[in-house]
Structure 1
Amino acid sequence: MLTLHYIFWISVFIIVYTYLGYGLVAYGMVRLKRLRLGKKTVSPAAELPDVTLVVPAYNEMSCLAEKLENSFQLDYPKGKLHFLFVAEGSTDGTQEYLRSIPEIEVVSGSTRRGKIEAINQAMQRVKTPLVVFSDTNTSLNPDAIRNLVRHYEDPSVGGVAGEKRVQASAEDNAAGAGEGLYWKYESFLKRIDSELQTVVGAAGELFSMRTHLYQPVESDTILDDFIISLRLTGQGYQVVYEPEAYALEKPSFSVAEEMKRKIRISAGGFQSIRRLSHLLNPFRYGLLTFQYVSHRVLRWAVVPFCLIVALVTNFLLAPAVPLYQVLLVAQLAFYTCALVGYLLEQKRLRIKLLFVPFYFSFMNWCVMLGLVRYMKGQQSGIWEKARRAA
């Protein structure tokens, strides 16, 4: 029985630490760093460098015109911002449409090899010192490129991650609203991570790096943005977070579409942990290992299973101790709220109070399904993109 007590409380500690404790600990460390060194400020770049914006575009006719308009409106000197779109294997007219735009360079072909292969091929064409990656279905703020490049005045900076913002509305489904809340929390953690030492994984919606540091990524890689940015940190470079450079993206069209996306990301998370296993060595990587384990490894590979363990051990301990009875009721009430939120979503009835328990449970369930997919080898670098809200 004593062993069950330990198992329960260790599981609870890992869950609480991962979602609340790490943020508090990291924030405290940042405050101490500020007291010792002061808060770092970043000035505009003395001379704006040439930059290439790389955009993979597979069957993107529904949003391509909007992306091009947004790209051409970016506030950066004409002639210093170059556009490279990769449209391999598109069957909806994307390649033909892009070739009709004289201001951009297009990499095209009849075979679809997947996003990361498209990026590997595109990087062979990039001649500028800096490259910015973005998705076709996102819009960048006008000053995004300027705000990214100003950090490269520091030679220790290898990459700069922009902020992903989900365009929320009152009509969003539960998964879409939950996704928006999740990314607000993620943005807070990324700010803290960046100031503490480095961002632990960039979002592909908006990410930049020094071109010469790019290393081709394996063609079956699922989370290319995560792998690329973590390999930069593994080389000893800092990846900075710049919230004033942001990419706006619409939420998933439905819970089913968000589940498809989350399962893929989760499978990619397990793949990434295996490929970046060298970062788990604290004697070599020190603070980076602490950040990587706390922010990513625990969330992807440990917490979902701790949730199951905490519930099962709580059931076994509840009959003997009143405290465990209260905790069991709290757990069951939380998951009941998540279930009610899901059932109401099926009837298109949305109660914001239920978004958090629903999305938290939904996200962790997707992690377990992602592990199954990864173990079965059912996910490749080529994947069907999730449909976004209109």
Structure 2
Amino acid sequence: MMSLLMLFVGLGITFIVAHFLMPGIYYIMAVRWLRSSNEVGHKVGLGIDPPFVSVIVPTYNEAGVIIQKLNNIYSQDYPKDRLEVLIVDSGSTDGTVELVHEWIKGHEDVNVRVIEEGIRMGKAHALNTALKYARGDIIVVTDADSLWLPDSLRNAIAWLMSNGVGAVSCSKIPRTNRDIETEYRSYYGLLRLAESRRFSSAIFHGELAAFKRELLEKIGGFPKDVGADDSHTAGFVSMMGYRAIIPEDVKCIEYVPSRGYWMWRVRRAQHLIQHFSRFLKYMLIDNRNSPREYRQIMLYEAYLHLINPWLFIIGLALLVVSALHGAVIPIALLLIGLALLSVRFFRTWVITQVILVVAAIRNLWNKELVWRKIEK
């Protein structure tokens, strides 16, 4: 019994140490990438003939935000004669489509079209429907309940014109009163910028995701069998040797829900787990010729999302069992951990690991490809 207890203690400590060690190493690497002389690239000017851009906005019962969204796109510092907006609606019942048509009547200097699917079949399906009607050389996807800064679109397109760049997304500015979300975003945002400096970001954002149309067509459009369609599409672009970056000067405002926040976090985690699970297979089996820098990023991120949270949960469980049997060291470690929960960063980290584990379990029966709308 004593030997088994010592084994539990040893394994528990090993798992907990490994859990915190690997993210720490990756964070140090990310800071070095940010401080290195390697730049994201050289943003070019748009010139006198900027590319024609199709902005796709998938909607489902967005009556509360759609006018604000249209006004936000309209106010962008980008030539309106080189821009079209495609509203692809998936069976809204709250008057979203009627509001769009009313808005169009007062803004005839920009081309806005409404595509009605009639039934909700998931975001990726809506995007692929809109792609059939889009005329732009650049395809920009954006969520209806997010906003861009005035120069976000111009800067994104300028970066997309840089050599070797195939996709561009945005840095997020969260609008929330939740400390856990702002703390999480500070760490998360640094990684996205650092990975872009290295080669490509492992995660893209639905608030603004811009792609060269020719690359979208090569990969067959947006994937319909994985929740993180934006990140997954950017991943395919990167595997072809193009960079999928998040520059510092492309910023979007993300509204974080006050009600349903935890379900929102779990759903997003589910989609990222689907994304990294699929790409782990691509990297290790199907496509070993992807850029070395991107393989390094994706393998680290896959580990952090798929394996590392379980080390924490299993290690914690072993320490709890050992403590219940009177082992002194696990009791001391658990008391230290409880004290550290008063530190916002540590508390945020622990909650994030629990969310990832819950999301992995929930993916076993519901992948949330068509999800219940959460108001923000």
Instruction: Provide TM-score, normalisation by structure 2.
Output: 0.86
| Aligned residue number for residue 274 of structure 1 | 277
Q: Share of identical aligned residues, percent?
A: 22
| Aligned residue number for residue 114 of structure 1 | 122
Find 2:315's aligned residue among 310, 319, 331: 310
1:145 and 1:75 mapped to 2: Cα distance? 7
1:117 and 1:77 mapped to 2: Cα distance? 29
Please state if 1:290 is matched with 2:296: yes
2:13 and 2:41 mapped to 1: Cα distance? 39
Find 2:306's aligned residue among 301, 305, 323: 301
**Structure 1: gaps spanning 5 or more residues:** 338-352
CA contact (8 A) 2:128 2:222 kept: yes
- Per-residue CA deviations over 1:177-234 (Å, capped at 9, x if unaligned) read 3112212221111111011111112011111110121123343421111211111112
CA RMSD between the two structures:
2.6
| Aligned residue number for residue 42 of structure 1 | 43
CA contact (8 A) 1:164 1:206 kept: no
1:271 and 1:38 mapped to 2: Cα distance? 30
| Aligned residue number for residue 54 of structure 2 | 52
Q: What residue identity is the alignment partner of 1:157?
A: V
CA contact (8 A) 2:88 2:126 kept: yes
| Aligned residue number for residue 12 of structure 1 | 16
Secondary structure at the counterpart of residue 244 of structure 1:
coil
Q: What residue identity is the alignment partner of 1:298?
A: Y
CA contact (8 A) 1:133 1:204 kept: yes
2:115 and 2:14 mapped to 1: Cα distance? 51
Please state if 1:228 is matched with 2:233: yes
2:137 and 2:124 mapped to 1: Cα distance? 20
Find 1:368's aligned residue among 346, 357, 375: 357
Q: What pairs up with 1:44-83 in 2 under 5 angstroms?
A: 44-46=45-47, 47-83=49-85
| Aligned residue number for residue 108 of structure 2 | none
| Aligned residue number for residue 200 of structure 1 | 202
2:246 and 2:121 mapped to 1: Cα distance? 30
| Aligned residue number for residue 381 of structure 1 | 369
Relative distance call for 1:17 and 1:385 in structure 2 (3 A) is: farther
Find 2:242's aligned residue among 237, 252, 266: 237
Please state if 1:157 is matched with 2:169: no
- Per-residue CA deviations over 1:133-164 (Å, capped at 9, x if unaligned) read 11111110010111111123333111011112
- Per-residue CA deviations over 1:27-85 (Å, capped at 9, x if unaligned) read 32554x52xx6785434334521111111111000111111111110011120121111
**Structure 2: gaps spanning 5 or more residues:** 106-110
CA contact (8 A) 1:220 1:382 kept: no
| Aligned residue number for residue 96 of structure 1 | 98
Relative distance call for 1:87 and 1:18 in structure 2 (3 A) is: farther
Relative distance call for 1:18 and 1:133 in structure 2 (3 A) is: farther
1:228 and 1:358 mapped to 2: Cα distance? 32
Q: What residue identity is the alignment partner of 2:113?
A: E
1:49 and 1:17 mapped to 2: Cα distance? 45
| Aligned residue number for residue 21 of structure 1 | 25
| Aligned residue number for residue 184 of structure 1 | 186
CA contact (8 A) 1:53 1:133 kept: yes
Relative distance call for 1:273 and 1:191 in structure 2 (3 A) is: closer
1:56 and 1:158 mapped to 2: Cα distance? 22
CA contact (8 A) 1:120 1:216 kept: yes
1:327 and 1:86 mapped to 2: Cα distance? 53
2:16 and 2:149 mapped to 1: Cα distance? 40
Shift of 1:294: 1.7
Relative distance call for 1:315 and 1:114 in structure 2 (3 A) is: closer
2:8 and 2:32 mapped to 1: Cα distance? 32
CA contact (8 A) 2:19 2:312 kept: yes
CA contact (8 A) 1:82 1:104 kept: yes
Q: What pairs up with 1:310-349 in 2 under 5 angstroms?
A: 310-315=315-320, 326-335=332-341, 337=342
CA contact (8 A) 2:147 2:207 kept: no
Relative distance call for 1:180 and 1:30 in structure 2 (3 A) is: closer
Shift of 1:275: 2.4
Shift of 1:366: 2.3
CA contact (8 A) 1:88 1:95 kept: no
Q: What residue identity is the alignment partner of 2:359?
A: G
Secondary structure at the counterpart of residue 75 of structure 1:
coil
Secondary structure at the counterpart of residue 243 of structure 1:
coil
Secondary structure at the counterpart of residue 80 of structure 2:
coil
Relative distance call for 1:270 and 1:38 in structure 2 (3 A) is: closer
